[in-house]
Amino acid sequence: MPDPAVTAAPAVPPTAPVPLAALLGREELGLRQIAGPRDPATVIHWAHTSEMADPYPYLLGGELLLTAGVHVPRAAGPGPCFDAYVSRIVEAGGAALGFGVAPVHDTVPRALVEACDRYGLPLVEVPPRTTFSAVARAVWQLMAQARHTELRRVTEAQQSLAAAAARPDPVPSVLRQLAARVGGRAVLYAPDGGEAASAGRAPGAGTGAEVDGALAGLAAVVRPAGGGSGTGPAPSSASDTVAGAHLAAYALGAGRGFVLGVAAARRDPGDHTIASVGAVLLSLLTGEQQSGTGAARSSALVRLLLGAAPQEVAPLLDAGELWVVVHARPDGPAPDAVAASALGTVLGSPLVDVDGDVVRVLVPVGHRPEPAAPSGWTCGVSAAVAPREWGVADAQAGRALARARATRSALVRHGDGRLGLAGLIPPDEAAAHARTVLAPIAGTPALTETLRTWLSLHGSWDRTAVALGVHRNTVRQRVNRCAALLATDLDDPDTRMNLWFALSHI
């Protein structure tokens, strides 16, 4: 069995995938696949038009690349040019190639068809009456429908899981709902590794015993007390695939030993979100009663309110001597209590606070791995401090999060050598300065995001256009508009530095 892996960043844009078959089924477009594998599982994440002979530098992966073959000579015959062209698309992760018949070519070159068959790239013929804009619009419409459907499915699952948690038999009820929602099996493992409760049937082509055994092994990887195939601390979650079943294991609570195992029929962001909600609810249902940490946290809060110093109450929360503060902001909507609790579960701490659109987590370190950025979150992490310096660490985490957002990094740690002089300025003063400097463009998010991206890419028009998914002329127009509204010279390095500082604090 391959080593289970902690969830990694996707290799394609984080958009709702659209089955290629659904796009081919739009009768008004008249699209027809003429080469490459006809796999119903083939999906596309967006449509991109390029007439470059080598589109590789402009692809992010998962695209339907549309071309009219301007770079292909009319009389082109079999040769290495088509092999090189198709192989570069495949190497970049392109999902499919759409070739427009007209105005340059009357038919799709036969050599291109053969090259797509050789390299396993779906080739779609776009008829003369269908514009590339119409194809792109159809992709976005299908994507919006898929996103709406997925959000509705996740919302309904969250509601049903919450209702199950309120039943007289909450743990079995949550497991039954979770198994039904992911189309598979859900198991709660006790600290000794045995099954405390379970529901559902194992999906995939393997036997139930085979999947159950693999799931129990994966649970051992994340169990704090004895888990892990290596010598380092156990991860908070892990995943694997066995006999067509997608397995995931989640450590519940802050190191108490309970683990949720899920065997699902598929692996996509929606199912991961549903399983995460189940993990949060089971953490609440199993953790407090088993360890008494809820009472300890209440006692610590009372002592703080009555005037005790942080270092006096810290032993009630955890045995660790050092702590870090994590400020995290979701890539999507503002966080709610469920999302914040899920983040705390991933980071290994129940000490979570939702502050507007930012979640703050107080995490003990020393015997735990340093926090990593969970998928879908942007994080700033403070230096490790003693309890008496929690306030200082909170300010450090806030500045680190601002830096992470400005540089589009998943995570920035205080003191990692990249904060520089900006870390010496109080956040409120920096924010006030940023509001003053950027006031002329602050009301137009497209301008601020374009300026931020353009500055981060050292003024490159092409790279900024690729990063934003717009035409390079659009980038030029927006940047010129910023220069006019700000009444400043963007070629001046001092100006760029000042604007970059301001953009880092909004």
Phi, psi values for residue 148, rounded to 5°: -65, -45
Q: How does pLDDT run across 259-289, given as a tens digit for each residue? A: 999 998 877 777 888 888 888 888 877 754 4
Q: Are 352 and 284 in contact (CB under 8 A)?
A: no
User: Positive or negative CA dihedral for 407, 409, 411, 417?
Assistant: negative
> What pTM was estimated for this model as a whole?
0.46
What are the residue ranges spanned by the domains of the chain? Answer: 18-141, 167-291, 310-424, 427-503
* pLDDT tens sequence across 166-203: 776 788 889 999 999 988 999 998 888 888 889 998 88
Residue with tokens 């709902």: 177
What's the confidence (pLDDT) of residue 73? 66
CA–CA gap between residue 120 and residue 115 (Å, rounded): 8
Q: Which CATH superfamily is domain 167-291 in?
A: Dynein light chain 2a, cytoplasmic (3.30.450.30)
Write out the two tokens for 132.
């590339």
Q: Are 94 and 65 in contact (CB under 8 A)?
A: yes
Fold classification of 18-141 (topology level): 3.40.1390
- Could you give the maximum distance between any two Cα atoms of the chain, in Å? 86
Q: Cβ atoms within 10 A of the Cβ of 431, count?
A: 16
The answer to whether 159 and 165 have CB atoms below 8 angstroms apart is no
Q: If you average pLDDT over residues 127-144, what whole number do you get?
A: 92
Fold of 427-503: Arc Repressor Mutant, subunit A (1.10.10)
pLDDT in tens, 96-113: 999 999 888 889 999 999
**Residue 34 φ/ψ, nearest 5 degrees:** -120, -5
Any residues with CB less than 8 A from the CB of 111 and at least 6 apart, and which? 76, 77, 78, 79, 82
**What's the pLDDT band for 365 if we cut at 50, 70, 90?**
confident
Task: Give the C-alpha separation, 228 to 220, whole Å.
Answer: 6
Cβ within 8 Å of residue 210, ≥6 positions away: 242, 243
Residues 233-259 as b or e (16 or more Cβ within 10 Å = b) = ebbbbbbbebeebbbbbbbbbbbbbbb
Q: Tell me which amino acid residue 286 is.
A: T
CA dist 128 and 83 (Å) reads: 25
In the structure, what pLDDT confidence band is assigned to residue 80 with cuts at 50, 70 and 90?
A: low
The amino acid present at 320, given as its one-letter code, is G
DSSP label at 259?
A: E
What's CA 263's distance to the chain center, in Å? 21
Sign of torsion, CA 410 412 416 418?
positive
**Mean per-residue pLDDT over the chain, rounded:** 82
Checking 384-391 for CB contacts under 8 A at 24+ apart, the result is 384/322, 384/323, 384/324, 385/322, 385/323, 385/324, 386/311, 386/321, 386/322, 386/323, 387/309, 387/310, 387/311, 387/313, 387/314, 387/323, 388/309, 388/310, 388/311, 390/310, 390/323, 390/325, 390/362
220 in Cβ contact with 226 (< 8 Å): yes
Percent of the chain with pLDDT over 90: 26
Residue 206's pLDDT is 61
User: Does 8 score more than 50 pLDDT?
Assistant: no
Task: State how far the Cα of 431 lies from the Cα of 483, in Å rounded to an integer.
Answer: 21
Query: Quick one: which H or E segment has residue 24?
Result: helix 20-24
Burial class of residue 202 (count of CB atoms within 10 Å of its CB; 0-12, 13-18, 19+): buried
Q: What local confidence, expressed as pLDDT, does residue 227 receive?
A: 41
| Res 96: pLDDT | 96
Instruction: Enter the tokens of residue 140.
Output: 């976005």
Q: What is the pLDDT of residue 306?
A: 74
